[in-house]
Structure 1
Amino acid sequence: MSGHVPTVGRIRRTTRLWRAIAVLLTGPFLAMGMPFYSKKTRESVVRWFFRGIAKSFGIRFEVHGAHVLHEFAEAGRGGLVVSNHISWLDIVAVNAVQPMRAQAKKEVAGWPIIGKLSTAARSVYLDRESLRALPDAVDELMKAMRGGSLVNVSPEGTTWCGLARGRFRPAMFQAAIDADVPVIPFVLRYRLEDGRDTTAPAFIGDETLITSLKRTARTRGLVLEVHVLDPIEPSRAKDRRELTEITQTAVREVLSRTQTLPEFEHPTLPVG
């Protein structure tokens, strides 16, 4: 540990967990109603759900550039929303700012409650163990974006904690090129109220989701900082690899400018 991490008492952390469970239990009912909601109502319901999860853990949002996503959504324009990957809270952050479809690993479909919501939100599932399944997943993403959907992907493939960062994989960027839609970098940063970055919400090594949930629940003053950057047109790159590099550089520039030493570090450790 390189600094004190402020925590809440046992009663408050227990209350936070029970509030989160209460919000999650509304998930199946919301999922059943999704086919009958208008687009505007569906977005409002999804935003309420994910903001409720964040609020139950005492998380405060600080969002910069949200208008970029709102303008795309209101105009019915497709785009590939690319985010760095740190925590199970990443999907909460994305949908609390602007509800959208997502590319997720196939195992998510079988998760209790979250799986039903993910399927109801028309997530694009990917079998990460099968290279043969990749072209179909890219094609499905392309069709979704060409049809006017924003789709969120995490091209690092796994979560990373501290100041460590994985390299973006180029496969999903091909979908943006094929659909002729822009890439929208979505930068996530978790910090404390005093400005220090924190790894509290991340998966550390082989720990369970429950362990991460408990650590998040006991952290005081957790701030989820979001930066939505300007769209990157695919025409700026000669191929998907160059488009990947341009996007990765934009994300890392923001992180380098904003990050401070986290309260504990695993400098090269992929997590989750």
Structure 2
Amino acid sequence: MNTPLGSPGAGLGSSAAPAAAYDQGLRKYLLGIYRTMALGLGVTGIVALIVASTPGLYQPIFNTPLKWLVILAPLAFVLFFSFRVEHMSVATARIGFYAFSAVMGLSLASIFLVFTGTSIALAFFSAAALFATMCLCGYTTTVDLSRWSTFLMVGLVGLIVASLINLFLASDTLQFAVSIIGVLVFTALTAWDSQRLKSQYVAYAGTQSLEKLAVLGALSLYLDLINLFQLLLNLTGERQRA
């Protein structure tokens, strides 16, 4: 949801006390979002490692047609969650986010069977560094990034469609193009999402809607980082030798 950008003290008065209260509230709001996102990443990592290290779990999944259900489940989950979150309580929304994180972990378990541990770690820390940099840029910039929102959403839809098509084509050239464009799109999305969350606090501070928006914000940032990680891994990852 895009909301108009405003000055940090908009609607909160111009004295030092309201400004300090705003700063404290904004920090608490954003830290809560990043904490929720980090917990989701932890759930994803634990599930992925457990599945990848247990032949009795990954063989019936990734060596059978069941793998298609596992691969497509996160996308279906995100769509369902996004449309239904308005009808959920905050507690249910949080549980839904962590459930999605577990499903994503199941899907990502396959990377441990394909890529070396070193290349996985390198791709993750590279993605995390890029993610943190763009979050800081989005938070501090005075440029209204929402003007790029339509372009970014079109790019995101195009990436999803191309990725789904390549599941069946298995084209290295298309995968390379998707990875390059995807890194650019999700880098920009990270900055935009960071600014958008700040704007939402200005617009919804003190309302119950803010808590649900925080869960959706954690989901958005989680997806930005996870996608950056997967795209960088596809570009730079070293595959395990058979």
| Fold match by TM threshold 0.5 | no
Which entry has the higher C-alpha Rg, 1 or 2? 2
TM-score by length of structure 1 reads 0.27
Larger RCO, structures 1/2 (Cα 8 Å, 6+ apart): 2
Q: TM-score, normalising length from structure 2?
A: 0.29
